[in-house]
Amino acid sequence: AATVITNLLTAIPYIGSTLTTWLWGGFSINDPTLTRFFALHFILPFAIISMSSIHIILLHSEGSNNPLGTNPDIDKIPFHPYHSYKDMLMITIMITLMFIIMSFSPNLMNDPENFSKANPLITPQHIKP
């Protein structure tokens, strides 16, 4: 995946090489590059969640932009606590359900091919042309 990202970045005209060097520290895929790659993939979901939360909070407290100059109070959408409680309850139920499934039958959502004996002389069915 880091190779694909490197190739995509270097395809950007004029600034591709600079972006690649800035992001990965160079063109070679080695230990520092993989460390940056894993750090980026660990931090990015938290950044997306925090920016989405800020967007929702500000949108519901301030309303959207008002380019026409009309009364801004008409367009505001009140954010009732009911929606927050409903979402938190649903997330809690889904996480609890997943924990129950993982605890009592951990192989339920597994691929049956994971338990087949590996034979290096035979090509597996799922990758035969």
- The range of the structural domain enclosing residue 101 comes to 78-122
Residue 108 lies in a domain: yes
How far is it, in rounded angstroms, from Cα 9 to Cα 13?
9
Residues 5 and 54 in one domain: yes
Distance between CA atoms of residues 28 and 36, nearest Å = 13
Separation of CA 54 from chain center: 17
Structural domain total, the chain: 2
Show which of 15, 35, 64 is a domain's final residue: 64
Average pLDDT, the chain: 78
Q: What is the pLDDT of residue 12?
A: 86
Do 57 and 82 lie in one domain? The reply is: no
Is the domain of 56 the same as that of 26? yes
Degrees (nearest 5) of the Cα angle 110, 114, 116?
135
Residues 60 and 1 reside in one and the same domain: yes
Residue 90 lies in a domain: yes
Looking at 19, 42, 64, which one is the last position of a domain?
64
Cβ(30)–Cβ(2) below 8 Å = no
Could you tell me the pLDDT band of residue 35, with boundaries at 50, 70 and 90? confident
pLDDT at 62: 61
Q: What is this structure's pTM?
A: 0.35
Q: Give the C-alpha separation, 90 to 14, whole Å.
A: 48
In this predicted structure, what is the pLDDT of residue 100? 92
pLDDT in tens, 2-11: 677 778 878 8
